[in-house]
Structure 1
Amino acid sequence: MSRILVTGGSGLVGKAIKHVVETEPEGSPFAKRAGEEWIFASSSEADLRDPVATEALFDKYKPTHVIHLAALVGGLFKNMKYKLTFLRDNSLINDNVLRSSYTHQTSKVISCLSTCVFPDKVEYPLNEEKIHIGPPHDSNFGYAHAKRMVDVMNHAYKEEFGCNFTSAIPTNVFGPYDNFDLEDSHVIPGLIHKCVLAKKNGTPFVVAGTGKPLRQFIYSYDLAKLFIWMLRNYDDVEPVILSVGEDEEVSIKQVADAIVKAVGFEGNYSFDTTRADGQFRKPASNAKLLGLVGKFEFTPFDQALDETVKWFVTNYDNARTGSKK
């Protein structure tokens, strides 16, 4: 019997894993298996910054495996404003989850990191060996250092106690159940919400920044499948980048153009070049992943974006949108 606890289970990636586990056909390598119990825990069930609450959660479910997704997250501007909060809260969450996993003899933990852990000044493409060779970009300083420490702790737990703790490093994730808040979201859900409102209200659609930065985006349902693959097949402490290929970078302008098309927006559309762009690009190699998993069919970007827009429009009243102006 395997009991898999997913922290952050009500978030973007947690919901995607739940969707994949419940909808993949029998025989699929990503489908729920006989003897598996999946538990998707949200922050309302336990404040993972609190060690007592974290222990209580583990006492309740006694997981054999953990996919650790819970984190304090936010967009570029929130990360820049609240560096200490992002550092401290995420450090507490990660320390408590790994400690409770150890004390409850959990057989395997996969923690979710982010490409922001990588150094700002680094030779591209990023790969798994470059995490600690220089400081991260200042815009993600607090969050990045907290996430880096997960990799450090994974190695320490393995060396001292033999724990099977590892981590995954996704590139920019998007999809259904994302946070579509206008001020506090990542680029794709924030732009989708702005564009939908601009169409609804007959107002201009204005994108912050120049539109020139490049990013690799991975659809949440694809990422979910890769987490399930790691859970069942990967037992090394070294992290794995979960991403589309570096040749699939798209510019923020390309993203905005695709959103305008998917939403069916026909109004005035422009870029506010007075707003910060963040890092220009941070391409990551998925060579290690493909060497391990073999062939994997990623959902084409335009298809994934179209499905995400349709989900948001259909679920607008219940989506995580913050202010609905």
Structure 2
Amino acid sequence: MEKEAKIYVAGHRGMVGSAIVRKLKAQGYENLLTRTSSELDLRDQAAVEDFFETERPDYVFLAAAKVGGIVANNTYRAEFLYDNLLIEANIIHNAYRYGAKKLLFLGSSCIYPKLAPQPLKEEYLLSGFLEPTNEPYAIAKITGIKLCEAYRSQYGCNFISAMPTNLYGPNDNYDLQNSHVLPALIRKFHEAKVNSKPFVEVWGTGSPRREFLHADDLADACFFLMQEYNEEMFVNIGTGEDVTIRELVEMVQRTVGYEGEVRWNTDKPDGTPRKLMDVSRLHGMGWKHTTELEEGLQRTYQDFLSNVELYVE
């Protein structure tokens, strides 16, 4: 990417988009295009077309999406499918129409079948049934991958896709109903500590295994791919290492400094048994994460404490 190129980061206020903006600025890119959702509703076809016609970005990072954890995914099924389909279709189509040189679409590890072999290789896509609780979101993200492939095939667009594992870091969503597991745990343990609660309830059995990648590492990988990768096949982004939810809970408890009891509500769902990404393709290209989970958790909790009024309404 040329230093003077016009770069559009869709979703720049979110955890992923803001990390990409930080990375680009650190690398000396200053011609960045951003719009808040109030300035540009990405679900509005005419508005997105007007934006692309006026601004004509050279490069597009598609990090905008409606996202949430297991509760949000299962509760707002129609919104997660509808909103995400509109966002990605509008941006990908107009990136083609108005001559973007390259686009990176960001998906999610939930695209893989619930019982796919572990670790998850890129070629396992569409080889089995999805996890029912997040099926609408997964279908939207699979559609985004296929849109990029189709525009590449039909029009020759250099549109690539990357599938991150579970993410955490600054600007995460800490809403207890709609957030992912790690930020929800940070908030739960923090509030229990502050309010001297005798116990914290955690859903499930603690046995599922999950992989976690710091948002700044993801941004670094996205920058790397935008510079170096031009193939049709999407790329997994992760650490290639996972922990059990029980181990994660213990790690968060230590990080926050909560000394009460942890109670496991085994009547609640566990979700997918394991989601470990096979990152051998990305490693083979020469990229590897640099932030280990323990260190990343410490940094993330410090960010949470610094912005607690912003994160917890």
- Matched AA of 2:133: S
Indicate the residue corresponding to 2:297 in structure 1.
305
Indicate the residue corresponding to 2:138 in structure 1.
144
- Matched AA of 1:185: S
SS at the partner of 1:205?
strand
Indicate the residue corresponding to 1:64 in structure 2.
58
**Structure 1 position 32 matched with structure 2 position 25:** no
Of the candidates 4, 10, 21, which is equivalent to residue 7 of structure 2? 4
Of the candidates 120, 128, 144, which is equivalent to residue 126 of structure 1? 120
Map residues 115-194 of structure 1 onto 2, 5 A cutoff. 115-194=109-188
Q: What TM-score, normalized by structure 1, do the two folds share?
A: 0.91
- d(CA) in 2 for partners of 1:223, 1:62: 26
- d(CA) in 2 for partners of 1:66, 1:199: 42
Of the candidates 214, 223, 228, which is equivalent to residue 228 of structure 1? 223
* Conservation of the 8 A alpha-carbon contact between 1:213 and 1:277: yes
- Matched AA of 2:5: S
* Conservation of the 8 A alpha-carbon contact between 1:14 and 1:40: no
- Matched AA of 2:268: R
- d(CA) in 2 for partners of 1:17, 1:133: 31
* Deviation of the 1:37 alpha carbon: 1.6
* Conservation of the 8 A alpha-carbon contact between 2:43 and 2:87: yes
- d(CA) in 2 for partners of 1:40, 1:244: 29
Cα deviation per residue 1:43-69 (whole Å; 9 max; x = unaligned)?
Answer: 222111110111122234321000001
- d(CA) in 2 for partners of 1:306, 1:123: 32
Of the candidates 270, 289, 292, which is equivalent to residue 277 of structure 1? 270
* Deviation of the 1:295 alpha carbon: 5.0
* Deviation of the 1:297 alpha carbon: 4.3
- d(CA) in 1 for partners of 2:306, 2:275: 33
- d(CA) in 1 for partners of 2:282, 2:270: 29
Cα deviation per residue 1:138-197 (whole Å; 9 max; x = unaligned)?
Answer: 111100011101121112111111111110000000011100111110000011011111
CA RMSD of superposed structures (Å): 1.4
Indicate the residue corresponding to 1:28 in structure 2.
none
Structure 2: gaps (5+ residues): none
Cα distance change on mapping 1:237 and 1:32 into 2, 3 Å = farther
- d(CA) in 2 for partners of 1:296, 1:190: 27
- d(CA) in 2 for partners of 1:118, 1:199: 37
* Conservation of the 8 A alpha-carbon contact between 2:239 and 2:288: no
The share of aligned pairs that are identical, in percent, is: 36
- Matched AA of 1:265: Y
Indicate the residue corresponding to 2:19 in structure 1.
16
* Deviation of the 1:88 alpha carbon: 1.4
Higher mean alpha-carbon deviation, 181-190 vs 43-52, is at 43-52
**Structure 1 position 290 matched with structure 2 position 267:** no
- d(CA) in 1 for partners of 2:116, 2:233: 19
- d(CA) in 2 for partners of 1:18, 1:242: 18
Indicate the residue corresponding to 1:108 in structure 2.
102
- d(CA) in 2 for partners of 1:301, 1:259: 10
* Deviation of the 1:84 alpha carbon: 2.1
- Matched AA of 2:264: F
Indicate the residue corresponding to 2:309 in structure 1.
317
- Matched AA of 2:153: E
* Deviation of the 1:269 alpha carbon: 2.2
- Matched AA of 1:83: R
- d(CA) in 2 for partners of 1:285, 1:316: 35
Indicate the residue corresponding to 1:87 in structure 2.
81
- d(CA) in 2 for partners of 1:139, 1:127: 22
- Matched AA of 1:308: T
SS at the partner of 1:177?
coil
- Matched AA of 2:301: V
Structure 1: gaps (5+ residues): 25-30
SS at the partner of 1:168?
strand
- Matched AA of 2:21: K
- Matched AA of 1:126: L
- Matched AA of 2:7: I
Q: What TM-score, normalized by structure 2, do the two folds share?
A: 0.95
* Conservation of the 8 A alpha-carbon contact between 2:282 and 2:288: no
